[in-house]
Amino acid sequence: MRTALLQSSGRPGSVAENLKVLDEAAGRAAAAGAGLLIAPEMFLTGYAIGDDIARLAEPADGDSADAVAEISSRHGLALAYGYPERDGETVYNSAQLISADGTRLANYRKTHLFGCFERDHFTPGERSVVQAELNGLRVGILICYDVEFPENVRAHALAGTDLLVVPTAQMHPFQFVAESMIPVRAFENQMYVAYVNRVGQEGEFEFIGLSTLAGPDGVARTRAGRGEELVFADTDPAFLAAAREANPYLKDRRPGLYGSLV
């Protein structure tokens, strides 16, 4: 499946403008034969928007989700995007996967919140492995900081995730995560990892781009630079199966020796 990574911060604070950016990128991705377009963490509203997070937060099936579903079905490709999710009085840092016909497939609530900014504005999710089937692949979702905990990605590997989608808001000085950690996560867990970042200065944060899709051989299939970009890479189930035969980490595990890490 051809996968498109939308490296962009859109227009922080304007859902309408961000939906336009998503719509335009979806058209380009569909024209390039992509079956999935992934947008960054909090793409729908912006990340460093302070109290506007709570003001702009919507339910997983709210009007903005309907608008994203319409974009998916009109262009005929699946979409994954980050947004602030409202559930009653609670606000989560969430990411949703919508199918090419506009069906909501999966909604994930960020379980590992980063720093006081996120802890001041969000409640952490409590479900670590969220997946859906898409075009013959089992797709899982994590958000930015989540992927830096090896336990989270290993849990996805043990649950059969083939492609891990990671909407991200990664800032300076954490360039090494995209450059080194993401390829290692993909290799040690024998999956594809698509890590899709914001760019540019937003409040106190300098977002660093470097969006990457890494394969189960630990090789980056594509990596963006530091600016607004739409990059593409293919995920291949046959290649994945062969890689898992060649690198049987999951088969060779010895959980009985891992104590509390099991």
Binding site for ligand NCCCCC(N)=O (CB under 6 A): 41, 114, 144-145, 148, 169-170, 174, 177
Q: Which is nearer to ligand NCCCCC(N)=O, 41 or 85 (CB)?
A: 41
Catalytic residue selected from 58, 85, 118, 144: 144
DSSP 127-141: ----EEEETTEEEEE
Whether 144 is catalytic: yes
Q: Shortest approach of ligand NCCCCC(N)=O to residue 218 CB, angstroms? A: 20
C-beta of 75 vs 198, nearer to ligand NCCCCC(N)=O: 198
Q: Is 41 considered catalytic here?
A: yes
Q: Is the four-CA dihedral 29, 34, 39, 44 of positive or negative sign?
A: positive
Minimum CB separation of residue 43 from ligand NCCCCC(N)=O in Å reads 12
C-alpha closest to that of 94 among 119, 59, 129: 59
Q: Is the peptide bond between 173 and the residue preceding it cis, with omega within 30 degrees of 0? A: yes
Told to judge if 116 belongs to the known catalytic residues of this protein, a careful annotator would answer no
Q: Is 232 exposed, middle or buried (0-12, 13-18, 19+ CB in 10 A)?
A: middle
Min separation Cβ 168 and ligand NCCCCC(N)=O, Å:
6
Token pair in block for residue 192: 């594809």
Question: Which residues participate in catalysis according to the annotation?
Answer: 41, 110, 144
